[in-house]
Amino acid sequence: MSVRRCSQSSISALHQQWTKLEDEHHELAFAISQARSAGAELEPMRERQAELLLEIGCLVEAIQDAPAETAQDFLALLDVALEHELDLAGDIAFYGPKDYPMTARLLRALARTVPGFEFNSLRRWLSSPGQFEQLMGTAIPSLTLDEG
């Protein structure tokens, strides 16, 4: 993947590519961890990891420089910034969504502006059951015997 090819796409198209590569990178990191524990050969996986990081870097540069024209472009730009500039997703994962009520409200409102948009960086970081849903306001409250 070349920067020239990346830079000719819209931010939202680049974001889709970035999402796939980031997901693959995180899955590969988990697989490397598992393989290391099992004493397996890591070199081919490490080579793919290095390739992925180069491709992700290309996409991040292209996203940074591409013109944002639609709400989806701006949401995609924010998603990449959350992952590569702000470390907010990691903080929310560590402290919990309840510690970020204004940010959660803002992210929910922004995500609703583009039906089907999902903050990939947040989904990946908020991997504890229900954490992402809680942040995005899509969690189904659990019922207790007292409620019903």
Q: What token pair was written down for 79?
A: 């998603």
Mean pLDDT estimate for the chain: 83
Does residue 8 sit in the same domain as residue 35? Answer: yes
Does residue 103 sit in the same domain as residue 54? Answer: no
Domain boundary among 68, 101, 116: 68
> If pLDDT is split at 50, 70 and 90, which confidence band does 148 have?
very low
- Domain membership of residue 81 (yes or no) is no
Q: How far apart are CA 14 and CA 6, in angstroms?
A: 7
Does residue 95 sit in the same domain as residue 131? Answer: yes
Q: How far apart are CA 138 and CA 121, in angstroms?
A: 17
Q: How far apart are CA 71 and CA 11, in angstroms?
A: 10
Provide the domain count of the chain.
2
Task: Using CB atoms within 10 Å of the CB of residue 15, give its burial: 0 to 12 exposed, 13 to 18 middle, 19+ buried.
Answer: buried
- Domain membership of residue 55 (yes or no) is yes
- Domain membership of residue 133 (yes or no) is yes
The pTM assigned to this predicted structure is: 0.75
Tell me: pLDDT of 140 over 70: no
> If pLDDT is split at 50, 70 and 90, which confidence band does 5 have?
low
Q: How far apart are CA 132 and CA 135, in angstroms?
A: 5
Query: 91: domain range?
Result: 87-139
Q: How far apart are CA 38 and CA 21, in angstroms?
A: 25
- Domain membership of residue 148 (yes or no) is no
> If pLDDT is split at 50, 70 and 90, which confidence band does 111 have?
confident
pLDDT tens sequence across 24-79: 998 999 899 888 888 888 898 899 999 999 999 999 999 999 999 999 999 999 99
